């Protein structure tokens, strides 16, 4: 991918020196529940000294992962079906895992939305934005769990 986002450096001091700040939650397709996890994630990142640009990247990826879980993973499941969300934040990296209860999907089968013929298609950009903004993205074999890692950019 040629269009990679720029990241400004993250504070190296990192006001947190203990183990990872971890959080696990069962989340329904509910704005309040999702925002509660997002707020906890961003609070943990702030504690660890991440920059505004890093927060932007992680927030976008988190939102896209959640949207994929509920809109695609749970498309044929009852609307109150919850997904599992976990994160672990250290000054070095942010790990986020989102697991839905759907049948899974094949991420490599998602059409390339940057091709000229797909530019006007309104959907299909979430997976590619996660890949663009996170440093590592992996799916389980079934395709219903995504793990994404954002690494802190050290100050020069």
Q: Name the residues that contact other proteins, by CB under 8 A.
A: 1, 3-6, 31, 53, 56, 59-60, 63-64, 67, 71, 113-114, 119-123, 125-126, 128-129, 132
Closer CB to other proteins, 109 or 119, in the complex: 119
**Edge-first strand listing for the sheet containing 136-139:** 21-27, 83-89, 93-99, 145-151, 136-139
Q: How far apart are CA 144 and CA 6, in angstroms?
A: 29
Q: How far apart are CA 83 and CA 30, in angstroms?
A: 11
Closer CB to other proteins, 9 or 20, in the complex: 9
Q: How far apart are CA 96 and CA 59, in angstroms?
A: 11
Least CB distance to other proteins at residue 152 (A): 17
Least CB distance to other proteins at residue 150 (A): 15
Least CB distance to other proteins at residue 52 (A): 8
């Amino acid at each position: 991918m040629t269009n990679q986002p720029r990241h400004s450096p993250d504070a190296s001091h990192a006001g947190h020196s203990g183990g990872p700040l971890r959080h696990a939650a069962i989340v329904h397709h509910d704005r309040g529940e999702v925002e509660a996890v997002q707020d906890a994630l961003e609070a943990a990142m702030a504690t660890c000294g991440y920059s505004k640009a890093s927060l932007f990247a992680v927030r976008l990826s988190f939102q896209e992962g959640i949207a994929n879980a509920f809109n695609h993973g749970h498309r044929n499941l009852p609307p109150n079906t919850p997904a599992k969300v976990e994160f672990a934040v250290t000054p070095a990296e942010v790990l986020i895992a989102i697991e839905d209860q759907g049948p899974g999907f094949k991420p490599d089968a998602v059409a390339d939305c940057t091709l000229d013929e797909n530019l006007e298609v309104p959907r299909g950009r979430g997976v590619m934005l996660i890949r663009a903004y996170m440093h590592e993205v992996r799916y389980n074999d079934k395709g219903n769990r995504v793990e994404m890692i954002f690494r802190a950019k050290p100050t020069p």
